Amino acid sequence: MGLEQRVTELERRLAELEGVSAPADAPSDSGPGSAEPGVRPEFWALQRLKAELASIGSHDGGVLFTGSVLLPTRERYEWQYGTATEQLLDEDWSREADAFAALGHGVRLRLLKEVVGGRRTAAELAEVDGMGTSGQVYHHLRQLTGAGWLQAAGRGRYEIPAARVVPLLVMLSAARP
């Protein structure tokens, strides 16, 4: 493999690790119509994941989540993240406790939903029925910010970091029965 090919491959792998999606006009050999014969078409992403894992020699499998999301605010987020099973099983899961705990309160989930919907200032969020006092709203905003689910965007505005939009929606999907 020549140097140029090696650099291209390193750039591709780095983009995957960082969750950067390919440009919309980039060629793709995956998608709903590209499943192998005899494979259920709704599992095209799973088949592609298995092929990628095989190409890097991962025998223990892996997990992939991805999304292309257009929010009510007309903001578009495209993101993906994959992790080898071995890496997940070897880590200390308690490190993620604060991130999960921040989502474990109904008011905080409602705040995130309102931010996704376009309410971005603390004042707008405090006006929503059932949010409690402005002090309580600020308390919940601090919890979400501390756990990385929100970030301050200046002048009392909040936003969900781009790298957290799709994971938030994946977690909500996973929590459904």
pLDDT in tens, 89-100: 999 999 999 999
Mean pLDDT confidence for 145-168: 95
- Residue 13 and residue 27: Cα distance in Å, rounded? 17
Closest CA to 169 of 55, 97, 66: 66
H helices of 19-155, in order, are: 44-55, 85-90, 97-103, 106-117, 122-126, 134-146
pTM, 2 dp: 0.74
